[in-house]
Amino acid sequence: MKISRLFEITIILLNKGTVTARELAERFGVSTRTIYRDIDVLSTAGVPVYMNKGNGGGISLLENYAISRTIISDQESESLLLAVKTLQATQYPELDKVLQKMGSIFKNASHNDWVEIDFSHWGSMPNERNKFNDIKRAMLQRKVIRFDYVDADGCRSNRLAEPEKLLYKGSSWYLIAYCRQRQDHRMFRISRLKNVDITAGKFVPKRFPVPEKGEMKSSSKPLVQLNLRFQAKVLNRLYDEFDDALITKNDDGSFDVKVVFPEDEWVYGYIMSFGNFVEVLEPEHIRKIIADRMEQALKIYEQ
């Protein structure tokens, strides 16, 4: 669309300083005459764009120019607002300032109370903002971080890691980093990182392999195929947490779910979180583990 091209041209000029009409024409697959018309439209809209002829010439913006509300429609500014508000809901720091700046650029952005997005669970505490900022700063400065970590088995360890990427998935923040103790890339849940410290050590980012299905294993735990039967009372939770294709309705009103999970303490606790509304059909050894743990829990209440 033309409005998208106009906006992108402005961004290119802001980033590069000067570009030729031919460069822009090749980028967008249009004629140089179309680019000249686009420049006229931008100029009419109040964007201080100008052209110089001859060697070293081209299309430029006046220095210190900032994006004006004139080239973005109300609908587009609302879309930008929604995107920022969504990211703000993940408790990403410093976005309050971004929203304030948007309010000074787009006339309707200051009226941002039409949408509220909250990914947190009821009763949860806010994210540890200082810890998040420390990780982000270490990542940008290519500095090694040291932290205590509690894994899915409840084991606590001290790690040295090279932070490379932040990932937001399933309502939680994760850190993808090269763990120097494990000599491999690992995915750490940020809420389990404690006592984060930025060291003086520097690192060169290592190229990590991209998993085939878009996920990085957080551990080397073996995978287990689970066949679970749920009562209808927890159907709402099944549709919250499993893909529809994994859920099969039975004639008696129950539901079967076949899913693959890493086998560790997390999966035992996850199954038990459904209480008496779930039965492990397979495999037999998982069924026995859950039964034993429920018996142990019952003994606590019988004492």
68-77 confidence digits (pLDDT tens): 555 566 666 6
Q: Which amino acid is at 21?
A: A
Nearest to residue 277, comparing CAs of 226, 238, 242? 238
- Which of 99, 119, 139 lies at the terminal end of a domain, its last residue? 119
116-156 confidence digits (pLDDT tens): 555 444 444 444 557 877 888 898 899 999 999 987 667 88
| Structural domain contains residue 216 | no
CATH number for the domain harbouring residue 150: 2.30.30
265-299 confidence digits (pLDDT tens): 888 989 999 999 999 999 999 999 999 999 999 89
Domain that holds residue 191: 129-202
The pTM (predicted TM-score) of the whole model is 0.48
Residue 87 burial (C-beta neighbours within 10 Å; 0-12, 13-18, 19+): middle
| Structural domain contains residue 218 | no
The rounded distance, in Å, linking the Cα atoms of 294 and 278 is 12
Q: Does residue 67 or residue 9 have the better pLDDT?
A: 9
Question: Is the CB of residue 22 less than 8 Å from the CB of residue 32?
Answer: yes
| Structural domain contains residue 53 | yes
Whether 115 and 161 map to the same domain: the answer is: no
| Structural domain contains residue 19 | yes
**How much is the pLDDT for 76?**
64
For the chain, what is the domain count?
4
Q: Tokens standing for 143?
A: 């500095």
pLDDT confidence band for 249 (50 / 70 / 90)? very high
The rounded distance, in Å, linking the Cα atoms of 295 and 43 is 76
Neighbours of 187 (CB within 10 A): 17
Whether 82 and 66 map to the same domain: the answer is: no
